[in-house]
Amino acid sequence: YFTEAKPLPLKGKRVVVTAGPTLERIDPVRYISNFSSGKMGFAMAEAARDLGADVTLVAGPVALDTPARIQRIDVESAADMLEAVLSRYDEADIVIKSAAVADYRPKHAADQKMKKQEGDAAIELERTTDILKTLGAQKTHQLLIGFAAETNDALTYGRGKLESKNADYIIVNDVTNPDGGFGNDTNVVTLVSRDGEMPYPAMDKRMLAHQLLTYISEKEFDHS
Ligand code: CTP
Ligand code: CA
């Protein structure tokens, strides 16, 4: 007997993935950013592609090659990333917010290089827009997957972010774990949803991304 080949679980789905840090300009030669390498986000984009999705990858400044068969859009700041994601939100089926978005930006970016002076210096900062929270507030049919980078009380904070941002899943990441976090090829996460929590063992980021998305897509889209 032949059984029909199972179609790929994300076939026909439009997936938007954000990855990497954002960069917030202070002046033409200086900026605020963070240590995100973009590896986990790129791995999520590749995993979505391999499960059959049509993937757009919105990337902050990272030193990674564009994966095959993925549309990449490079952005710099949190404001740029917000615009790139919002303009694709209506037609998206899934948004995966892996990016480490800067929480603050300089209130004024100087047009010219700032000169040092005698005495103390301070840069006035303001909050960036919370992109995931904005998406959560405007959600219609989309599945929203966020990340949470934590150093302590990771699950409590992760559950809080699931609720406050109206996400469907939060992938909680203990960045103090030596096998996880920024720059590493491996990661250690717990998947948090309203159904509960699922811890994953330390794993290569690409393998982990594949397992996370396989689990989520079977749960959300495989109603056969
Ligand atoms: N996020 C976002 N826009 C921001 C800040 C965060 O979209 N301006 C998203 C991240 O991409 C991630 C999730 O929100 O998917 C959680 O990010 P995280 O930095 O862990 O949480 P915050 O809400 O920023 O809280 P804090 O940094 O204070 O822990
Ligand atoms: Ca943050």
Query: Over the chain (224 residues), what is each successive 10-residue block's mean pLDDT?
Result: 82 98 98 96 98 98 98 98 98 98 97 92 96 98 96 95 98 88 88 96 96 96 70
Atom of ligand 1 nearest to the CA of 131: 7
pLDDT of 27: 97
- To the question of whether residue 147 is assigned a binding role by annotation, the answer is yes
Pocket test for ligand 1, best of 132, 159, 165 (most atoms within 8 A of CB): 132
Is 134 within 8 Å of 49 (Cβ atoms)?
no
pLDDT of 223: 62
What is the rounded distance in angstroms from the CA atom of residue 97 to the CA atom of residue 143?
11
pLDDT of 2: 72
Q: Is 152 a catalytic residue?
A: no
- pTM for the model: 0.96
Dig out the tokens for 216 from the structure. Answer: 């989520």
pLDDT of 137: 98
CA of 7 to the centre of ligand 2 (A): 37
- To the question of whether residue 205 is assigned a binding role by annotation, the answer is no
Query: Cβ(97) to ligand 1 under 6 A?
Result: yes
Dig out the tokens for 136 from the structure. Answer: 């959560």
Query: Cβ(101) to ligand 1 under 6 A?
Result: yes
What is the rounded distance in angstroms from the CA atom of residue 148 to the CA atom of residue 48?
20
Is 55 within 8 Å of 15 (Cβ atoms)?
yes
CA of 161 to the centre of ligand 1 (A): 8
What is the rounded distance in angstroms from the CA atom of residue 48 to the CA atom of residue 181?
21
Query: Cβ(79) to ligand 1 under 6 A?
Result: no
Query: Cβ(191) to ligand 1 under 6 A?
Result: no
Pocket test for ligand 1, best of 17, 77, 80, 130 (most atoms within 8 A of CB): 130
ipTM: 0.99
